[in-house]
Amino acid sequence: MKIGILTSGGDCPGLNAVIRGIVLKGIKVYGHEFVGFRDGWRGVVEGDIMDLPRQSVRGISKQGGTILGTSRTNPFEGNGGPEVIKAHMERLGIDAMIAIGGEGTLAAARRLTDAGLKIVGVPKTVDNDLDATDYTFGFDTAVQIATEAIDRLRTTGESHHRCMIAEVMGRHVGWIALHAGMATGAHAVLIPEQRTSIEQIVEWVQEARDRGRAPLIVVAEGFVPDHQDSAHSERGLDTFGRPRLGGISEQLAPEIEARTGIETRATILGHIQRGGVPSSFDRVLATRLGMAAVDSVVEGRWGTMVSLKGTEIEHVPFEAALGNLKTVPQHRYDEAAILFG
C-alpha cells in the first residue's frame, strides 16, 4: 500500500515523532510505502508530495515543528474538494491518507471520508482541548516551556517587588494555564472557563503581597474578566476602558497596578510554547499514536482517529472529537483555586 501523511493546522511539538512512528512501523511491520503531503491540505489539494523513505525519518523525534510543513488551508475551498483530491490520489497511486491535526483538520477529514476517501486521523493540539482523547501530544511540552518561563518571571518579580503576569496559550480552554499555574505556585490562574472578576484578582494579588510575596498571575490568552462593558468595546477600548493593547495580560497589568499600587508587568509567551524539542512524554505518546494509526489503515478503519484512553491507545470515530471542546472541569479549577492568593 502507498500511504500519504499530512500535518495540518498549528504546529505542535511531537508531530515529527508521529511521522516517524507511522513510517517505521508501516515499513518494518507491513512493508508499506509512504509519501508526505507538503503543508497540510494545501499539498493534498495540489498533489504536492515528497517521498518518505525510512532514512527520511531518522532522528526526527526530537525535532520541533514538522518536516512536512503545515498550513491552515481548508481542502474544500479554492480549487479543492473531494473529486480533485481523488484525482490526485489516483494519479499519484496513493491508497489512503493519515491526517494529523486538530478539530478543523479532523472535521475536514470526516467530510472527505463521507465523500469516499480513505482517511484515518491522529489528534493534535498544544491546547489539550480535543474531546475523546485524554491528552494530546504537545501539551506536556507547552506546559514545561511555560513552567520554565514563569519560574524565571518569578525571580525577577521578587527582586523588583512587582506583580508579574504570564500569558499562555489557550484560546478557548485553560489547560496550559491551569497546569503551568499549579506547577509554578501562581497566586491566581485565569482561564476562559471562569469569568473571574477584577475585584477577586486584586484580592489575590493583595493577599500575596501582604504575605511579602511578589504576586504571580498566569492567564490564558482567551480569558475574559467578569467585567465586560460593551460601550468600551464599541469605542475600541479594552474591557477596563483603556486603549486596547495586544493581549489580555496587557489589559490586566495597568488595571491591577492602578487598583493596588503594585508595579505590574505582563509577558506574553506566545509561540515559544509551540516550538522546539518535544518532551519525552510527548515523543512517546506521539510515536505510539503514529504506530496505531498505521494499524487503523491496515484494518480499514476509515473515519476514525487514534486516541489515548488512560494508558492505552484506542480507535474512535472522528465525530467523538468534534463539536465539544474538552474544557477544564469546575472541580479541577476549584482544586487549584485553594492555592491562590
Binding-site members for Mg(2+) are: 103
| Residue 123 is a binding residue for ligand F6P (CB under 6 A) | no
Residue from 23, 45, 94, 126 binding ligand F6P (CB under 6 A): 126
Supply φ then ψ for residue 61, to 5 degrees.
Answer: -55, -30
| Residue 304 is a binding residue for ligand F6P (CB under 6 A) | no
**CA-wise closest residue to 152 among 139, 166, 142:** 166
Question: How far, CA to CA in Å, does 286 sit from each of 155, 254, 307?
Answer: 34, 41, 10
Which 249-268 positions form the footprint of ligand F6P (CB under 6 A)?
none
Residue from 42, 162, 179, 274 binding ligand F6P (CB under 6 A): 274
| Residue 170 is a binding residue for ligand F6P (CB under 6 A) | yes
| Residue 128 is a binding residue for ligand F6P (CB under 6 A) | no
Pick the closer one to ligand F6P by CB: 117 or 180.
180
Residue from 39, 46, 127, 282 binding ligand F6P (CB under 6 A): 127
Stretch that binds ligand F6P, among 44-52, 82-90, 169-177, 298-306 (CB under 6 A): 169-177
Q: Measured from the CB of residue 159, what is the shortest distance to ligand F6P in angstroms? A: 30
Binding site members for ATP? 10, 72-73, 102-105
Residue 42 sits at the vertex; the CA angle it makes with 36 and 43, to the nearest 5 degrees, is 30
Q: Measured from the CB of residue 174, what is the shortest distance to ligand F6P in angstroms? A: 11
Question: How far, CA to CA in Å, does 82 sit from each of 24, 137, 231, 324?
Answer: 29, 29, 45, 26
25-29, Cβ contacts within 8 angstroms, sequence gap of 24 or more: 25/290, 25/291, 25/294, 25/295, 26/294, 26/297, 27/54, 29/294
Q: Grid cell 508521529 — which residue?
A: 18
39 assigned to active site:
no
Pick the closer one to ligand F6P by CB: 221 or 250.
221
167: β partners: 219, 268
Choice among 11, 39, 127, 282 that is catalytic:
127
Query: How many residues line the site for ligand F6P (CB under 6 A)?
Result: 9
| Residue 10 is a binding residue for ligand F6P (CB under 6 A) | yes
**CA-wise closest residue to 279 among 36, 12, 58:** 12
> What ranges make up the beta strands (E) of 102-226?
119-123, 163-168, 188-190, 216-220
| Residue 105 is a binding residue for ligand F6P (CB under 6 A) | no
CA distance 165 to 186: 10
| Residues in contact with ligand F6P by the rule CB under 6 A | 10, 125-127, 169-171, 221, 274
Catalytic residue set: 127
